[in-house]
């Protein structure tokens, strides 16, 4: 039942009003940018599902960007207690929407009554705003010009308001076939995040007057403020009201190209098609917003444990011997490595699902895979969507026989990518999904890969327009760059789809929307236009690829996709595309990573050390120190760049051993965060405001980030720097590399930390319990080592509590959940009460962990006051354990970094208890009491 059913509907049903005559907004008294006079709400009625259904009529048509659609249908529904939907579309005929089978959601009802043939204009009978109330959000509307607002019920704060006043810099609602415009006023104090994918040079916080265009393009990530590979029309709004933070989210579910204009006090959507399908998420914490968002779009995909290990790739591993050498050199350098990748070097002339018989002979590749698989290592290869037009190529022939390609004027649309002339599969066609799955199965039988990398799926095309294969010319040539168009092409501008009336800022330069991609007048299954479906191409490919991999051997799929859309995180991970080996790109990578966590794609990272050109040795040092803590951690380089594997420089190898060594110790924590992400959408890497929403100083911070709630990474991002100034929100922060060092930030402070070349600063916050293991060179080995629990209390506190969790499972099962006899969830708790310390666990479904033999060997407790008393009685499950010969208790005085006068007189301890052998799969309780110092 809808939550709104429990609240009175303060509305008038059936015909509300006839509409007041309104002057057209293109009169001489209006600014020239004003378009139209908006719409009038003619009627509204309650639907059987507890929603509202209304009819809108345009006040006065105009021809700017095309003719207005006369009648619109308005549907409003409190879909959950925290989610409100506002859907506006043509009342007379269907319009393009993101396919409901691709992104499942409820379908709006249709108006039952016939539309009025004419409307008399007279004074409205309804002049006051009317309300439709839910549990958390209230929808209100005015009739003429129609406008709506959404406000928070608890404090009456207006979250979204489309009403345009004479002084507003934006228009009332505009709804034409190829131009939709709607705006909201905003308080200048609102902090906005999201609206991507783009490289934001100034950090994660959206800035006024910078372009935000959403349209998937193969524009490398080095292009700033440009629409890149993904399209995510969602933002989070964080406001601090009288010292308390409130966050909410807004999604416009629309796949058409759009510009979003943020002015600081308003935000305007300018969309070139589709419908207005808004979803409002009440929050009110940042984590709650992402939870509510991913509840709608799909929870992030479960990731196998090995995916959190380190990955190595390069475009330019010319033969299998080079790949074998890379693996051997990582082992020799004692740098952890879990996954080795191939770009397209393994292919036969860049053709999908093939092997180069000379460079990657099948028998030798199979033997290599047998060797690395026996160690627990994995192998992933790239596939592009473009299928080479080649009658001797079985994949092509089967595709033609099944008629799976996107069409233009009845024939497969011809484009060019790496193999030369290609056709693009239409993943909206069910037959294509079946064919694609069959090709993946055939390839997997030949090469048992452990995941797939779907690239170039915006879709990227080296040409534009209508093309034919030239006669007598080798295309592509062997000598020239592979990305130069060598087909014979003509521009396509003859339709309104190829040349729409409103030009979005595509590619950051108002490029034609068919530029270097599929012509927008090309057609998909059931006549769907590329114009509408363009930005969901990579998403639809990820869905098809996930379905195919899941059917193979019953394993958990791993897919890395370049192009993403709303809901992609349910199927794939993402890397941020072609970056440069520069200090700026190092810094930009943090913002993009944090945005994708908000987008519901938590498994994300950038090419470590940069895709091109070769980074300096110092930069690569600093990049692996940062990249070791990306959720998805991979070194990847360009074909034309010198080698940059982490062992190529002795200094980088040392930094890698240090940073990745810590990552591999934290693998159980990272994997538990991935379970949290799968269950609730929670980002793995988060902005600091997720944990500290009331601390406004961190709202624009983009140079540090959190892993989960508690672990903060503060990397060096500047050339030549040997220290880093980091923001520490209020509380006690302990160094992960030397836990005896603590930053005690009482009210929050910027602290300068030492950071010589091989050092990255990582701190854990008070009130946390972090499960760690001993690390190793491969995750399969590391995850079988004994556990350490790190417990953090506030320095000097007489009372405190801490908590954490640990999720363990058979990590290659398709589902990541409890209840299958193949998983265990442990909740850890700790309390400090007048020097009495207690640490305990609650285990759900512990049999799995018991069969694996996992045990806690060490406990580290930080922030304790006092001393270990002589004759200390350490109890485990009520039994004294001091008589056990292997148990060793040590204490270390904490060192205060940037200490003040109060810190100078304070003494606090780290207590370590080693030699334990506590089964992870059983509840336990450990306690002791600190003595008094002095």
Please give the positions annotated as active site: 455, 458, 578
**DSSP assignment letter at 297:** H
For residues 149 and 158, the answer to whether their CB atoms sit within 8 Å is yes
Residues 6+ apart with CB under 8 A from 117: none
Q: What is the 3-state secondary structure (H, E, C) of 606-641?
A: CEECCCECCCCHHHHHHHHHHHCCCCCEEECCCCCC
Q: Structure tokens of 881?
A: 């354990």
Look up residue 890 and give its two tokens. 């040590």
Distance (Å, whole) CA 768 – CA 747: 19
Neighbours of 50 (CB within 10 A): 18
CA 147/CA 164 separation, integer angstroms: 8
DSSP per-residue letters across 51-80: -EEEEEEESS---TTSPBPSEEEEEEEE-S
User: How do 244-252 and 232-241 pair as beta strands?
Assistant: antiparallel
Q: Where do we find the tokens 């959403």?
A: 214
- Exposed/middle/buried for residue 615 (C-beta within 10 Å: 0-12, 13-18, 19+): buried
Residue 746 half-sphere exposure, CB side, CA atoms within 13 Å? 9
Q: Read off φ and ψ for residue 547, nearest 5 degrees.
A: -60, -40
Find out whether 633 and 311 touch, Cβ atoms under 8 Å: yes
Of 229, 221, 316, the residue nearest 638 (C-alpha): 316
The token pair that represents 731 in the structure block: 């509380």
Reduced DSSP (H G I as helix, E B as strand, rest coil) percent helix, strand, coil of the chain, to 5: 20, 30, 50
Cα 387-390-394 angle, rounded to 5 deg: 75
**Which parts of 25-179 are beta strand (E)?**
39-46, 52-58, 71-78, 83-90, 130-133, 137-143, 146-152, 158-161, 174-175
For residues 242 and 266, the answer to whether their CB atoms sit within 8 Å is: no
Closest-CA residue to 618 (of 642, 643, 654, 663): 654
130-144 burial, b at 16+ Cβ within 10 Å, e below that, comes to bbbbbbbbbbbbbbb
Dihedral of the alpha carbons of 617, 623, 625, 626, in degrees to the nearest 10: 170
E-assigned strands of 535-621? 559-561, 573-575, 604-605, 607-608
Q: Report the C-alpha gap between 443 and 784 in whole angstroms.
A: 32
The 3-class secondary structure across 402-416, one letter per residue, is HCCECEECCEECEEE
Instruction: Extract the tokens encoding 699.
Output: 């709202």
CA atoms within 13 A on the CB side of 167: 2
- For residues 475 and 487, the answer to whether their CB atoms sit within 8 Å is yes
Three-state secondary structure call for residue 585: helix
451 and 383 in contact (C-beta within 8 Å)?
Answer: no
Which residues have C-beta within 8 Å of that of residue 569, sequence separation ≥ 6? 294, 297, 298, 299, 300, 301, 596, 599, 600, 601, 602, 603
How many CA atoms does the CB half-sphere of 497 hold within 13 Å? Answer: 17
């Amino acid at each position: 039942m809808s939550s709104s059913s429990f609240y009175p509907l303060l509305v008038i049903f059936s015909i509300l009003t006839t509409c007041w005559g309104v002057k057209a907004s293109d009169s001489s008294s209006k600014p020239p940018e004003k378009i139209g006079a908006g719409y009038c709400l003619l009627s509204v009625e309650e639907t059987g599902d507890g929603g509202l259904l209304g009819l809108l009529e345009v006040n006065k048509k105009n021809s700017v960007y095309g003719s207005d659609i006369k009648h619109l249908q308005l549907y409003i529904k409190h879909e959950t207690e925290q989610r409100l939907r506002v859907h506006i579309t043509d009342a007379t005929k269907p319009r393009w929407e993101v396919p409901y089978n691709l992104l499942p959601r409820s379908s709006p009802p249709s108006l039952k009554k016939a539309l009025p043939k004419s409307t008399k204009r007279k004074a409205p009978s309804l002049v006051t705003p009317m309300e439709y109330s839910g549990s958390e959000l209230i929808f209100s509307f005015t009739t003429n010009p129609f406008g709506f607002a959404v406000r928070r019920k608890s404090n009456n704060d207006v979250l979204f308001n489309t009403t345009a006043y004479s002084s507003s810099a934006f228009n009332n609602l505009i709804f034409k076939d190829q131009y939709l415009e709607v705006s909201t006023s905003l308080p200048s104090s609102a902090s906005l995040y999201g609206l991507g994918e783009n490289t934001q040079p100034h950090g994660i916080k959206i800035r006024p007057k910078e372009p935000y265009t959403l349209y998937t393009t193969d524009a490398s990530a080095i292009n700033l403020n440009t629409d890149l590979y993904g399209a995510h029309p969602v933002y989070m709004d964080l406001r601090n009201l009288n010292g308390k933070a409130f966050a909410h989210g807004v999604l416009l579910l629309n796949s058409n190209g759009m510009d979003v204009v943020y002015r600081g006090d308003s935000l305007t959507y300018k969309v070139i098609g589709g419908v207005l399908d808004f979803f409002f998420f009440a929050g009110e914490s940042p984590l709650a917003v992402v939870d509510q968002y991913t509840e709608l779009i799909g929870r992030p995909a479960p990731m196998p444990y090995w995916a959190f290990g380190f990955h190595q790739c390069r475009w330019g591993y010319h033969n299998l011997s080079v790949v074998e050498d890379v693996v051997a050199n990582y082992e020799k350098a004692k740098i952890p490595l879990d996954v080795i990748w191939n770009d397209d070097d393994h292919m036969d002339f860049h053709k999908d699902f093939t092997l180069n018989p000379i460079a990657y002979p099948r028998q030798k590749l199979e033997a290599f895979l047998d060797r690395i698989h026996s160690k627990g290592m994995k192998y992933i290869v790239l596939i592009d969507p473009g299928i080479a037009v080649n009658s001797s190529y079985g994949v092509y022939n089967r595709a033609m026989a099944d008629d799976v390609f996107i069409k233009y004027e009845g024939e497969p649309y011809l484009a060019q990518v790496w193999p030369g002339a290609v056709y693009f599969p239409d993943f909206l066609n069910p037959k294509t999904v079946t064919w694609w799955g069959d090709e993946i199965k055939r390839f997997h039988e030949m090469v048992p890969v452990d995941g797939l990398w779907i690239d170039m799926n915006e879709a990227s095309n080296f040409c534009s327009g209508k093309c034919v294969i030239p006669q007598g010319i080798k295309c592509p040539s062997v000598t020239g760059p592979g990305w130069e168009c060598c087909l014979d092409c003509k521009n396509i501008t003859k339709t309104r789809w190829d040349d729409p009336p409103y030009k979005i800022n595509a590619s950051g330069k108002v490029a034609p929307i068919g530029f270097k991609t599929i012509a927008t007048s090309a057609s998909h299954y059931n006549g769907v236009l590329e114009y509408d479906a363009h930005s969901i191409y990579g998403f639809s490919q990820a869905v098809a690829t996930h379905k195919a991999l899941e059917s193979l051997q019953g394993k958990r799929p791993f897919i890395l996709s370049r192009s993403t859309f709303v809901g992609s995180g349910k199927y794939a991970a993402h890397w941020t595309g072609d970056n440069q080996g520069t200090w700026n790109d190092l810094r930009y990578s943090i913002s993009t990573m944090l945005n994708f966590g908000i987008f519901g794609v938590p498994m994300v990272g950038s090419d470590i050390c940069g895709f091109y050109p070769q980074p300096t040795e110092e930069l690569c040092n600093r990049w692996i120190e940062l990249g070791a803590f990306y959720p998805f951690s991979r070194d990847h380089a360009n074909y034309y760049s010198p080698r940059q594997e982490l062992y190529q420089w002795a200094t980088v190898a040392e930094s890698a051993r240090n940073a990745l060594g810590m990552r591999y110790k934290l693998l159980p924590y990272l994997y538990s965060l991935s379970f949290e992400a799968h269950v609730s959408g929670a980002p793995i890497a988060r902005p600091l405001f997720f944990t500290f929403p009331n601390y406004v100083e961190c709202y624009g911070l983009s140079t540090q980030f959190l892993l989960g709630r508690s672990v903060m990474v503060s990397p060096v991002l500047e050339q030549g720097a040997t220290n880093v100034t980091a923001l520490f929100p209020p509380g006690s922060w302990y160094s992960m590399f030397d836990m005896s060092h603590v930053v005690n930030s009482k009210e929050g402070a910027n602290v300068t930390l030492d950071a010589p070349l091989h050092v990255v600063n990582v701190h854990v916050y008070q009130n946390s319990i972090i499960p760690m293991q001993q690390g190793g060179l491969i995750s399969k080995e590391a995850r079988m080592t004994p556990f350490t629990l790190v417990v953090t209390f506030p320095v000097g506190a007489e009372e405190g509590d801490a908590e954490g969790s640990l999720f363990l499972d058979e990590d290659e099962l398709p589902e990541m959940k409890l209840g299958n006899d193949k998983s265990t969830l442990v909740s850890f708790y700790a309390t400090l009460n007048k020097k009495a310390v207690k640490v305990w666990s609650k285990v759900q479904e512990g049999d799995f962990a018991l069969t694996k033999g996992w045990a806690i060997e060490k406990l580290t407790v930080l922030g304790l006051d006092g001393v270990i008393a002589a004759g200390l009685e350490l109890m485990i499950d009520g039994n004294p354990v001091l008589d056990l010969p292997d148990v060793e208790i040590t204490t270390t005085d904490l060192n205060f970094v940037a200490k003040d006068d109060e810190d100078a007189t304070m003494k606090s301890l780290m207590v370590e208890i080693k030699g334990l052998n506590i089964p992870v799969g059983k509840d336990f309780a450990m306690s002791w009491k600190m003595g008094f110092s002095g």
